[in-house]
Amino acid sequence: MSNPTNGHLPGSPAAPSHSAPPDRYVPGTGEVRRHRLIALVLDRPGVLNRVASLMRARSFNIDSLAVSHTDQPDISRMTITLRGDDVAVEQAAKQLYRLIDVLKVQDVTAETTIENELALVKIRATDTTRPEILKVVELSRGRVVDLTPESIVIEVTGTEAEIDGFVAMVRTYGIKELVRTGAVVMSRGSGSIEEALKR
Amino acid sequence: MTMTKGGAGGRRGPDGGAASAGEPGSAPAAPAAPAHEAPPRGAERRNHVPGAGTAHAAAVERAQREMLRDGSSAAAAAAGRVAGKRQRIGADVVCESLIRQGVHTFFSYPGGVILPLYDVLGDYPELRHILVRHEQGGAHAADGYARVTGQVGVCVGTSGPGATNLVTGIGTAQLDSVPMVAITGNVPGALLGKDAFQEIDINGITLPMTKHNYLVRDANDLPRVLAEAFHIARTGRPGPVHVDITKDALQQETSAPHPSHEEIVAGLPGFRPNLDGHYRQLKLAAQEIAQARRPVIMAGHGVLHAGAEQELVALAEKAQIPVAWTLLGIGAMDETHPLAYGYMGMHGWKHTNRAIQSADLLIAFGMRFDDRVTGNVKTYAPYARIIHVDIDPAEIGKNVAVEVPIVGDAKRVMKALLPMVPAVDTQERRDYLAQLAAWRAESEASSWHGSGAWRDGLLSADYVVTRIGELTNHEATYVADVGQNQMWLARYAGFRHPNTHVSSGGLGTMGFSLPAAMGAALGRPDRETWAIAGDGGFQMTSQELMTLVQDNIPVKVAIFDNKKLGMIRQWQEIVYAGNYHSAHLLGPDYLKLADAYGVPAIKATTPDEVDEAIRFAQSVDGPALIWFEITGEQNVFPMMPAGKGLSDLIETWGGPEE
């Protein structure tokens, strides 16, 4: 880790009384962006509570949190998306490591990844709007999973932005209900966080 | 919903006859309920437990019965113990674990669901149980015990209020990284989540304020969980671990073996603290040290935890670097050492803070750049690059950005670093060290004795603390409370040895000193133990005087009575324009109070009574109390107002002296 602003060179004589030095960088005050963390945790009672409680107590703002089993018994995988500057998110990851049940945390924000979430959207539909909605669904690679005379339920997967876009498109018809799973992320290529754990 | 007939033991027979029919040992011909309440013959008893007929409902019923009255199982256990052929139960595992972990003394308070433990305690004479007067006292005592011995301190409480009373003590240990295992009982497993008597979600409460916590519902898990708890509490960055055990697990028979160290480690794949600094980082650190002209070493609690006092001196001497310390780093270096440069931070020495503000390199070991240390981070040590060594990676870069992060144990890192740093001649640092010496002389002359009250023959706290330090040859354990007394102790007592200064630094828990001193005195009986308390803090936990008497724990209690919440008053004077709301505090006649407890006590109101009072307390074989009636409006200076920087110290304030 390097200090981005304190550019004082080693060995140069300090001059306390002259030239006011620049303010020291305060961790967490940098540019905020969306980060994606993958955490492998032991599947023990309360582990979700521990993670959630830590994020709350340390004031990290979680956008989404998805939990599921992995291929290894007793190990669960969490995908956490949160906003903060790089240092703050690094701090969040390090705090996660302090939890005894957390095995591995990886910030994959800078990596090339596959990111997907699933949404179910229940849309108000009439005989006149249904064809338009179906057109949008087709373009968004969505799938009709339920159909009634007054409504239509669409399942759609994609990145957060893609689903945001789809929801914006169908909002005009009237959304009766919306649920999203939150993003799940996997890095591209042959590297594996689970295999890294076994080593 | 169907009802079972003749199901689990203890259920009434279909004729609605006498209760507890299935319990062995109960009186067989117990008269039935009064006639007018007796159900009509042949009527089936209604079962009110939800899910009646299931095994779960039967368990709930059994548990409810046990909550009301310790039934036959306890009686049978007692009978078996008399006969010497008792089965091993969960409570035995707790005692065995404490013994295996080297715990000789623990602090506890009984209650309903923890009674199974008390029922077997008598079988373990090697365990000394101190019956405290309040669970908070027990937690602080375990904390004090841990801080002076380096061992894991243990406190035990019952469910509900017993557990919540421990919370402040657990939090204190968490913020100061003190190894502790807190054990609580909980209601029988089947009643968990049903708001049973004295049930509270203590696991949920301690979750964010412990290093780890457990809920144990099966006695077969207890050997593993307790072994893990002690391992986690003392390994890496120490901290408190809470183990909550249901009553039925304490009573359950078990033959589960205690795990080996290898099994414990293998069972905790997510807990592998890194102890050795990375070689590349160590090299970078050595380069920084070689290039620095105005370096300062900063020692925190981690130096004491690691037992790195000798390595610290060796490093400082080889590279000729002055050493400053945090509140909890006090004792890491003998204060009389030529390179010892004092206590830093909000109420630290002005010269120490000045050295930090003008340093070009800070080498921090086992500290966390707390806001009481840095003040406003933006203006903190503006010329300094920072090497930060800590065993907890999360501390590095948390509060300040650093140039050279090193994750590792302070002792191991210092040992590795020592051969890599160049030896520096005193001559090379001559100008720097001369300037520091001049600053020190200046600051000790100006801020010594705070308000100057001593000049008028008034009894000032700094004078009392100085004399306590001198008359005990700086060899005692000194346990601070929180507030002005804490700062006076830190500044003026004079510390020579590691782990002789005990203070609630992170959480700042008033009422800490007396119970923590209790634990410290039991942990290090070879040293005199002094509790330094203000009248406010003393009144928060004064009930533990009785524990001192009952167990003859030789704590010397010094009450600094200014009839005020002194630090509150100081802030109100300086920050809140003299609006002294609730700063004035009535107290009892402490001599009478001590007398009522049976504690020998003496009062001192003038400077010339101080030595006699201290010697009196030292002459008492057992606990003693001194009531120092100190001047009422003395402030601790210098003071860094919150939000300001280390260069903005207030050194005096108003008053006739200025």
Ramachandran quadrant class, B272 (left: phi over 0; alpha: psi -120 to 50; beta: rest): beta
Find how far residue B461's CA is from the centre of its chain.
25
Q: Residue A10: is the preceding peptide bond cis (ω within 30°)? A: no
Report the pLDDT value the prediction gives residue B361, as an integer from 0 to 100.
98
| Closest alpha carbon within chain A to B203 | A46
CA B325 – CA B365 distance, rounded (Å): 9
- Rounded to the nearest angstrom, the minimum Cα separation between A25 and chain B is 6
A191 shares contact with chain B (CB less than 8 Å): no
State whether B399 and A50 contact (CB < 8 Å).
no
State whether B207 and A49 contact (CB < 8 Å).
yes
Instruction: Give the model confidence (pLDDT) of A7-32 as tens digits.
Output: 343 344 444 455 678 899 888 888 99
- Locate B236 and state its tokens: 């890496």
Phi, psi of B479 (to 5 degrees): -110, 120
Q: Which residue among the candidates B3, B197, B310, B442 is catalytic per the annotation?
A: B197
User: Is residue B247 annotated as a catalytic residue, yes or no?
Assistant: yes
Secondary structure of residue B75 in the 3-state scheme: helix
State whether B293 and A41 contact (CB < 8 Å).
no
State whether A97 and B393 contact (CB < 8 Å).
yes
**A11, A23, A97 ranked by CB distance to B394: nearest:** A97
Region B305-332: what's the mean pLDDT?
Answer: 97
Sequence-ordered list of residues with C-beta below 8 angstroms from that of B611, at least 6 positions apart, any chain: B467, B471
**B204, B293, B394 ranked by CB distance to A13: nearest:** B293
CA B57 – CA B177 distance, rounded (Å): 43
Sequence-ordered list of residues with C-beta below 8 angstroms from that of B264, at least 6 positions apart, any chain: B224, B227, B228, B231
Report the pLDDT value the prediction gives residue B546, as an integer from 0 to 100.
98
Higher pLDDT, B653 or B564: B564
CA B179 – CA B165 distance, rounded (Å): 19
CA B203 – CA B394 distance, rounded (Å): 24
CA A143 – CA A145 distance, rounded (Å): 6
Longest dimension (CA), chain A: 80
State whether B207 and A90 contact (CB < 8 Å).
no
Angle between helices B135-149 and B161-175 (to 10 degrees): 30
Q: In this prediction, what percent of chain A has a pLDDT beyond 70? A: 90
- Locate B250 and state its tokens: 């304490």
**Chain B environment of A21 (Cβ under 8 Å):** 382-383
- Locate B19 and state its tokens: 């209760």
Residue B526 has pLDDT above 80, yes or no: yes
Tally Cβ neighbours within 10 Å of residue A66: 17
Higher pLDDT, A25 or B328: B328
**B-side interface with A, Cβ within 8 Å?**
203-204, 207-208, 211-212, 215, 232, 268-271, 287-288, 291-294, 357-361, 377-386, 392-394, 396-403, 405
Report the pLDDT value the prediction gives residue B547, as an integer from 0 to 100.
98
User: Is residue B563 annotated as a catalytic residue, yes or no?
Assistant: no
Q: Which residue among the candidates B567, B570, B628, B640 is catalytic per the annotation?
A: B567
Secondary structure of residue A119 in the 3-state scheme: strand
| Partners of residue A147 on adjacent β-strands | A152
Nearest to B536, CA basis, from B493, B590, B578, B481 = B481
Residue B98 · residue B154 · CB < 8 Å: yes
The ipTM (two decimal places) reads 0.84
Region B329-354: what's the mean pLDDT?
Answer: 95
**Beta-strand pair A175-180/A151-158:** unpaired
Nearest to B150, CA basis, from B234, B70, B91 = B234
Residues 84-103 of A with CB under 8 A from B: 87, 90-91, 94-95, 97-103
**Chain B environment of A99 (Cβ under 8 Å):** 212, 270
Residue B421 has pLDDT above 60, yes or no: yes
Report the pLDDT value the prediction gives residue B1, as an integer from 0 to 100.
43
User: Is residue B197 annotated as a catalytic residue, yes or no?
Assistant: yes
pTM, to two decimals = 0.88
b/e sequence B201-210, b meaning 16+ C-beta within 10 Å: ebbebbbbbb
- Locate B510 and state its tokens: 């008033």
CA B403 – CA B362 distance, rounded (Å): 10
**A3, A15, A20 ranked by CB distance to B403: nearest:** A3
Report the pLDDT value the prediction gives residue B67, as an integer from 0 to 100.
65
Instruction: Give the model confidence (pLDDT) of B110-157 as tens digits.
Output: 999 999 999 999 999 999 999 999 999 999 999 999 999 999 999 999
Report the pLDDT value the prediction gives residue A30, as an integer from 0 to 100.
86
User: Is residue B470 annotated as a catalytic residue, yes or no?
Assistant: no
Ramachandran quadrant class, B320 (left: phi over 0; alpha: psi -120 to 50; beta: rest): left
CA B238 – CA B623 distance, rounded (Å): 30
Secondary structure of residue B587 in the 3-state scheme: coil
Instruction: Give the model confidence (pLDDT) of B251-288 as tens digits.
Output: 999 999 999 999 999 999 999 999 999 999 999 999 99
User: Is residue B135 annotated as a catalytic residue, yes or no?
Assistant: yes
Region B219-227: what's the mean pLDDT?
Answer: 98
Report the pLDDT value the prediction gives residue A196, as an integer from 0 to 100.
81
Q: How far apart are the first and last CA of chain B?
A: 84
Task: Please give the helix or strand (H or E) that residue B77 lies within, else none.
Answer: helix B72-82
Report the pLDDT value the prediction gives residue B558, as an integer from 0 to 100.
98
